[in-house]
Structure 1
C-alpha cells in the first residue's frame, strides 16, 4: 500500500501544482516557455475544473505534492469533442523523483472513479510520443489510441476509453 494521499485540489496548492507541472514536463523535454501561456488553467484550477463540473486531484507524500491529474468536461474546453458524456483527462503529472512508484496509477484510478460519479461515460486524453511512461500507463488502463495530430508543439497522440 502506498503512502500517497490523494485529495481534491485546494487554493493553497496553486504554486506547488505549477512547479510540479513544469518540472515533470522539463524532465521529458516537453516544456516550452513559448507555449506556457497555454497552461493558464493551472493558475485558475477552481474555475477551470472544480466549478466547471470536473475535478482536480493532487497526491501528497510526506507533505509534498508529487502527483496530480484532472478531469474536465470535454464541452467546457476546445478539445474537438462535443459529446456531453465525454470528459478529458488533463494535467497528469508525477514528480520525476517519484516516478515508477504507482502514483500515476493511483491518480488515474481515482480520476476514473470520480468521472463515473460525475456522470461521464467516456474519457479522452492526449500525450506526446516522447512521454513513453505516460503511454504505457494509459494503455495499461485500457485506453486505446484513436488518432495522431500535428500541433504547433509537435505530434500528439489522442486516446479514449469507455467507462
Structure 2
C-alpha cells in the first residue's frame, strides 16, 4: 500500500498503457463503455502535447494514473482524462496527479481550470471538490446520453 507514484510527462511508448488505464477505469465505473469517447487518448501527442500537457503516474514501472490539460483560451485550461487504474484506487494518486497537472498549468501561467465529469461518478466529484474545484453547472450531453457535472478552480500564480 505504500507504493510511490512517480509522475512524468507522456512518452510515445505509453500509448497502449494510457488506453488500458482509460478503459479499465471506465469499465469499472460506468454502466456502459463508449470506445468512441476520449478518442484523443489514442493520439496524445497531437491532442495534448502541442498546446497543453499530459502526465502519467507509474507505480513499480506500471502506469497507474493518467491525465492532461488543453487550453480553452489564454487564461483557462480544461483538465481532461484524469483516470486511475482500479487496482490503484484510494491511494491518493488522483490528488497527486491533479497537483502535478496544476503545477504545470501555473508554469504556463494559466489562471483558471475547468473540467466536467459524469453525474454518475460520485467519487470523481468528491475528489474534485476536495481539491478546491467548485461545481458550476450540470448539463445533459446528448451525444453520450449522460448528465455531466461541470467544475472550475482558480489557480493562484503567486
Q: TM-score, normalised by structure 2?
A: 0.91
Structure with greater proportional helix content: 1
C-alpha distance in 1 between matches for 2:60 and 2:44: 23
Q: After the TM superposition, which of the residue ranges 127-136 and 90-99 deviates more from structure 2?
A: 127-136
Partner residue of 1:157 out of 139, 149, 158:
149
Equivalent residue pairs, number: 152
What are the equivalent positions in structure 2 for 1:78-89 lying under 5 Å apart? 83-89=73-79
C-alpha distance in 2 between matches for 1:4 and 1:38: 26
Partner residue of 1:94 out of 62, 84, 89:
84
SS, match of residue 66 in structure 2 = strand
Structure 2: unaligned runs, 5 residues or longer? none
SS, match of residue 120 in structure 1 = coil
**Retained in 2: the 8 A contact 1:22–1:31?**
no
Match in the other structure for 1:77: none
C-alpha distance in 2 between matches for 1:95 and 1:113: 22
Which portions of structure 1, spanning 4 or more consecutive aligned residues, are displaced by more than 4 angstroms?
none
SS, match of residue 37 in structure 1 = coil
Q: TM-score, normalised by structure 1?
A: 0.89
Is 1:146 the counterpart of 2:136? The answer is yes
Q: CA RMSD in A?
A: 1.3
* 1:44 Cα offset (Å): 1.1
* 1:37 Cα offset (Å): 2.4
Partner residue of 1:70 out of 68, 72, 81:
68
**Retained in 1: the 8 A contact 2:76–2:111?**
yes
Structure 1: unaligned runs, 5 residues or longer? 75-82
C-alpha distance in 1 between matches for 2:31 and 2:126: 17
